[in-house]
Amino acid sequence: MTAIVEHSEFSLPGVRCAACIAKIEQGLAHVPGVRSARVNLTAKRIAIDHDAGLDVPALRSALDALGFAAEPVIAQSGDLAHRRESRQLLKGLGVAGFASMNIMLLSVSVWSGADGATRQLFHWLSAMIAMPTVAYAGQPFFRSAWSALRHGRTNMDVPISIGVLLATALSLFETITGGAHAYFDGAVSLIFFLLAGRYLDSAMRDRARDGAGALMRAMAPGGMVLLPDGRAEWRSAEDIAPGMALLVSAGERFAADGRVEEGSSAIDRSLISGESRPEPVDAGSAVIAGSLNLTGPVTVRVTATGRDTTIAGMARLMEAAGQGRSRYVRIADRAARYYAPAVHTLAAASFVGWMIAGAGWHASLLIAVAVLIVTCPCALGLAVPVAQVVASGALMRRGLLVKDGSALERLAEADRVCFDKTGTLTLGRPEVVSIEALNPAECSAALALARASNHPLSRSLARTLAENGSRAADAKDIREIAGKGVEGHVGGRLARLGRPEWVGTAAAADDMLCCAFLIDGGAPRLLRFADRLRPDAEEAVARIARLGMEPVILSGDRREAVAAIAGQVHAPAMVGMTPDQKVETINRLTRAGHHVLMVGDGLNDGPALAAGHVSIAPSSASDVGQNAADIVFLGDSLLPVPIAVVAARRTMRIVRQNFALAIGYNILAVPLALLGMVTPLIAAIAMSTSSIIVVANALRLARCTR
């Protein structure tokens, strides 16, 4: 067999530590056909090189067998382009750092009195280092400035480019004519500091983009298609067409919308409806792409694929809702809008002024360049990204992932909070509440049955029983009956766990999540499940209210289900809302001049999360929810939400201070520059001091989550 090596990538949300990496990489090494596997812990991904004979489902089940849920990642061209951009900036940063260090060393020798031939030599050396550096590392600024000028606009990169190019050209002229001062150090270290800010900013945005395309990932990448000749073949989602028959086994996601033809099962539609209760399906029921088939294999006749599916419609709704946010102007851009023209005017004025005063074009130009360099926005360029990176680092240690730096700016402005109920205020997973109904013997029998099933209620029951110290009984002939439950023989007696009617008892109230358990000869036991409030939810909502943000609950659930929760957290609630209505409510608040923070999970909250001024999702949320949200918090507690609000407000305070410091420092140096008293030494000191002060000030944010 000629083995062609193929490359596949999977996202592995469960990877946490060295032990996970070792388990996965060493485990996959034993899978025949796998050439190499490498886990990327930062991106929570794995890259596998494998023989062509090994397909995506096989790799996925191999990862599953190792205990890690994996989703195939389809590489996106946009993703790669941005990553390349970050890498380009980092390369430029390396070059500029090397050059500025060496030129600075040479310059210090000149300042401290090197003269004559030595100074000439040093200037020439500086020129030789600086020219290629400017040409290479300055590109991001030149390109951005050029595109702005071509469209008749100006931005922060225009004065930077002019300053760097003029300074380099003049210094070269000085060097050739044997002049006393060269500005190479200024030009190069200007590029270095600015690239540092630019890189931090881009690294922040990369992290935001890692979640992109999650919606498409939520739709299965493909499925087993039943061919007319009776064979089954794995096809990727785009090759599936309406009319095909799809074989979907338990634990697999539907790759397309369709109608069940054969078999019965329960499906988890929580991705679409936010409802955690599994829904029984059998022949004739409609199923939606992205929902999870829980208990039994079914054959589905495909009705809609790709962009026609319900989930794709939801994605369009989300995109439309996100439009409003993309119009948001970042604080640095707003500052640049005023700063750039002011700097140009000042430099031009000083040139004209000195010409009129009769200083000659050479001296006048030198002073104008000095003004451009001294007023250089390098501290300004660092002010925002440094503060945001430090703050998001501190938040990360508290279990909050900030996906986009501008999220902190927007969060600081928020004055209203909308909460989703299921999965946000509550845990979103059923927890058994009446375990005391079982005696110890029943507990161990129930554990044995519950462990055998993948049904959410079984999993929850098994977890609770195991936590309470039950040991699984020795059960034989365990089998799962799709849509009904699990049965098996414990100690020679038949035991059943499943739907109350099937076990032989009546369900209490039909809106309760419940299942029943029975050992032959014993009394049937009804087990109730409930979706519990998140720990600290009351405290978190109260704290948010104290921060001056009015909380409100937007829920798709029925009134009775929401009322209890609303009472517990002391917040008004709006019930029975569709995704569109949630978006409309948020838009109404926005039109009334409020900035809304949306806290939610689930695909049904996706559009609302995108519509909010800023949004937070729990890590238990669906991929889509996490993707639509700006901030994701880990763990069960709801306290990270008020912590994030406080941290965001502190960050904005620091950013404003940074602007004041950067501009203030430059204002001190500008008069000196205008008077023509700025030597390269003063320019270098002014520039680096203001940058260092700004960075030091931002470092105070390391404790912003206390």
Instruction: Using CB under 8 A, list all residues that contact another protein.
Output: 17-19, 21-22, 26, 39-43, 87, 90-91, 94-95, 98, 101-102, 105, 118, 121, 125, 129
Two tokens, residue 169: 């050209």
Give the whole-angstrom CA distance, residue 188 versus residue 175.
16
Minimum Å distance from CB 142 to another protein? 21
Question: What's the rounded Cα separation, in Å, for the pair 332 and 334?
Answer: 5
For another protein, give the closer residue by CB, 43 or 58: 43
What HEC string does 14-44 produce?
CCCCHHHHHHHHHHHHCCCCEEEEEEECCCC
Nearer to another protein, 126 or 604 (CB): 126
3-class secondary structure, 313: helix
Report how far Cα 219 is from the mean position of its chain's Cα atoms: 19
Cβ neighbors of 143 (< 8 A, separation 6 or more) are: none
Cβ–Cβ under 8 Å, residues 15 and 39? yes
> Measured from the CB of residue 34, what is the shortest distance to another protein in angstroms?
16
The active-site residue, picked from 420, 531, 557, 605, is 420
Task: Find the shortest distance in angstroms from Cβ 68 to another protein.
Answer: 15
Give yes or no: 420 in active site.
yes
529 Cα distance to chain centroid: 32
Question: From the CB of 39, what's the least distance to another protein, in Å?
Answer: 6
CA gap 521, 495 in Å, rounded: 10
Q: Which is nearer to another protein, 8 or 453 (CB)?
A: 8
The owner of tokens 């004739």 is: 284
Beta strands in 288-380, from DSSP E residues, in sequence order: 292-293, 298-304
Look at residues 110, 162, 109, 155 and name the one whose alpha carbon lies nearest to residue 134: 162
User: Angle CA(632)–CA(634)–CA(639) in degrees, nearest 5?
Assistant: 90
- Determine contact, residues 630/404, Cβ cutoff 8 Å: yes
The letter for the amino acid at 476 is K
The number of residues in the chain equals 706
The smaller minimum CB distance to another protein, of residues 126 and 444, is found at 126
Q: Pairing mode, if any, of strands 573-574 and 550-554?
A: parallel
Q: Of the two residues 3 and 22, which places its CB atom closer to another protein in the complex?
A: 22
**Closest distance of CB 137 from another protein, Å:** 11
SS3 call for 673: helix
Nearer to another protein, 129 or 566 (CB): 129
Extended strands (E) in 520-619: 525-533, 550-554, 573-574, 596-599, 614-618
Q: Considering beta carbons, is residue 22 or 227 the nearer one to another protein?
A: 22
Q: Which is nearer to another protein, 1 or 17 (CB)?
A: 17
Q: Which is nearer to another protein, 7 or 87 (CB)?
A: 87
Least separation in angstroms between CB 41 and another protein: 3
283: Cα within 13 Å, side-chain hemisphere: 3
Q: Which is nearer to another protein, 39 or 448 (CB)?
A: 39
| Strands, E assignment, 467-618 | 475-481, 485-490, 493-498, 513-519, 525-533, 550-554, 573-574, 596-599, 614-618
Largest interatomic CA distance in the chain: 111
Q: How many CB atoms sit inside 10 A of residue 693's CB?
A: 17
Long-range contacts of 95-99 (CB under 8 A, 24+ apart): 95/133, 95/136, 95/137, 96/133, 96/137, 96/188, 96/189, 96/191, 96/192, 96/195, 97/192, 98/133, 99/129, 99/130, 99/133, 99/137, 99/188, 99/192
Question: In angstroms, what is the minimal distance from the CB of 120 to another protein?
Answer: 13
Structure-token match 């001056």, residue found: 548
Nearer to another protein, 109 or 689 (CB): 109
Structure tokens that stand for 675 in this block: 């008077």
Lookup: tokens for 26: 């060493």
Beta carbon of residue 294, minimum distance to another protein (angstroms, whole number) = 33
Catalytic residues: 420
